[in-house]
């Protein structure tokens, strides 16, 4: 069931917050699958209430939905309005809720197909290309492709971690293929594929194929614009004022005694020691003791950086031990008693 809850939070006659609560309670104890119809067409459109001129309105809807486990997802009306992205409302929605691919919730009825057979995984100039054979039973409509860092056995929980889902591919014929263009040359990965029926029931995983690194030293740069590699709340501003920045812009925030770090995430190919460096544009008015949180294998370590000087180049934070996997590695915190903006721009992580 997909009720069209096309009103804003706080509407005097049809408050979105009250309606999602009512629908969630109404379907509780039933087999009804509840998805919410969102009025994406109203965001930024002329003639709409003032609430719909706020880029955060749609994002706030999905944040509120998280309080109700019976809400399985959302349906946005309409596709052309999603593409229009008026006032940046859809971009805000993507940043806050849709940074990674995800599988649609399975529908009622139907059954998962048999697992596919992953026949090859070959590294080439364009990335790692996978090929597989459709399973022998069931009706397959699409496939989900997973990538795990490193080698070794596969924990079933790894496939429940959205960070390991690369994307989906529509089924066509008895075979399938996918190229992972984001595979780092120096990294070792395990690849698996699952099959999904028309109602999104997922099969067991295929056999795993391991692709080893090319032998070079692993090093990765994560910029504040790297897709899936950077997260920060709306309290962090964006600027391109200083030319000593890395890339097109950087993020900044006022210091405050709150837990509101901006995080840089990366996929590390193996456990071991890594050198961590940061890049920031410096300014005499910036913070003299910006806290950097480093999530090591042995706990979180804090390193302070004087961002008033020394910017426009890679500055070494230190050498740290990390476990293999995809995770938040370096955070820039606002929690400091010193004055001046704290800045998050880019990090570089190099295996030693």
Q: Which residue has the tokens 């109203």?
A: 42
d(CA 121, CA 304): 43
The pLDDT, as a whole number, for residue 186 is: 74
Cβ burial, residue 15 (10 Å; 0-12/13-18/19+): middle
Q: What is the pLDDT along the chain (352 residues), one digit of tens a residue?
A: 999 999 999 999 999 999 999 999 999 999 999 999 999 999 999 999 999 999 999 999 999 999 999 999 999 999 999 999 999 999 999 989 988 888 988 988 889 999 999 999 998 888 899 999 999 989 999 999 999 988 778 888 889 888 899 999 999 999 999 999 988 877 888 999 999 999 999 999 999 999 987 656 788 999 999 988 999 999 999 999 999 999 999 999 999 999 899 999 999 988 888 899 999 999 999 999 999 999 999 899 999 999 999 999 999 999 899 998 898 999 999 999 999 999 999 999 988 7
Four-point Cα dihedral 322, 268, 270, 305, nearest 10: -30
Q: Contact at 8 Å (CB) between 209 and 217?
A: no
**Rounded alpha-carbon distances, angstroms, from residue 296 to 264, 270, 303:** 13, 13, 12
Query: Is pTM, for the whole model, over 0.85?
Result: no
Tokens 């066509």, located at residue: 172
Q: For residue 347, what are the CA distances in angstroms to 181, 219, 235, 279, 344?
A: 21, 11, 20, 6, 9
Return the pLDDT at 332: 97
Residue 58 φ then ψ, to 5°: -65, -45
Residues 6+ apart with CB under 8 A from 7: 13, 14, 15, 16, 19, 39
How far is the C-alpha of 306 from the C-alpha of 319, rounded, in Å? 18
Alpha helices per DSSP H over the chain: 16-27, 57-65, 79-84, 89-97
Place of tokens 């697992």: 115
pLDDT at 132: 97
Quick check: 164 and 146 in contact, CB under 8 A?
A: yes
Report the candidate in 158, 133, 134, 132 with the shortest Cα–Cα distance to residue 146: 158
């Amino acid at each position: 069931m997909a009720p069209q809850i096309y009103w804003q939070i706080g509407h005097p006659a049809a408050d979105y917050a009250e309606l999602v609560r009512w629908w969630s309670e109404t379907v509780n104890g039933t087999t009804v699958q509840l998805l919410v119809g969102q009025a994406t067409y109203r965001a930024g459109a002329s003639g709409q209430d003032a609430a719909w001129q706020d880029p955060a309105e749609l994002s706030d809807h999905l944040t509120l939905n998280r309080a109700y486990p019976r809400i399985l997802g959302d349906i946005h009306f309409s596709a052309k309005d999603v593409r229009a992205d008026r006032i940046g409302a859809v971009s805000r929605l993507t940043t806050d809720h849709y940074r990674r691919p995800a599988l649609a919730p399975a529908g009622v009825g139907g059954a998962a197909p048999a697992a596919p057979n992953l026949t090859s995984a070959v590294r080439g100039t364009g990335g790692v290309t996978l090929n597989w054979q459709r399973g022998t039973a069931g009706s397959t409509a699409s496939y989900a492709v997973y990538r795990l860092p490193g080698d070794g056995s596969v924990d079933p929980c790894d496939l429940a971690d959205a960070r390991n889902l690369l994307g989906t591919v529509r089924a066509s014929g008895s075979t399938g293929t996918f190229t992972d263009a984001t595979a780092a040359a120096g990294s070792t990965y395990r690849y698996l594929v699952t099959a999904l029926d028309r109602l999104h029931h997922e099969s067991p995983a295929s056999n795993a194929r391991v692709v080893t690194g090319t032998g070079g030293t692993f090093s990765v740069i994560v910029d504040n614009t790297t897709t899936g590699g950077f997260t920060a709340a709306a309290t962090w501003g964006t600027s391109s004022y200083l030319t000593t920045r890395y890339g097109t812009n950087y993020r900044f925030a006022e210091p405050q005694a709150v837990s509101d770090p901006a995080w840089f995430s990366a996929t590390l190919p193996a456990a071991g020691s890594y050198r961590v460096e940061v890049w920031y544009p410096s300014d005499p008015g910036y913070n003299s003791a910006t806290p950097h949180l480093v999530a090591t294998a042995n706990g979180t370590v804090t390193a302070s950086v004087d961002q008033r000087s020394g910017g426009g180049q890679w500055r070494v934070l230190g050498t740290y031990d990390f476990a293999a996997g995809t995770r938040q590695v370096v955070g820039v915190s606002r929690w400091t008693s010193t004055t001046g903006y704290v800045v998050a721009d880019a990090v570089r992580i190099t295996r030693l």
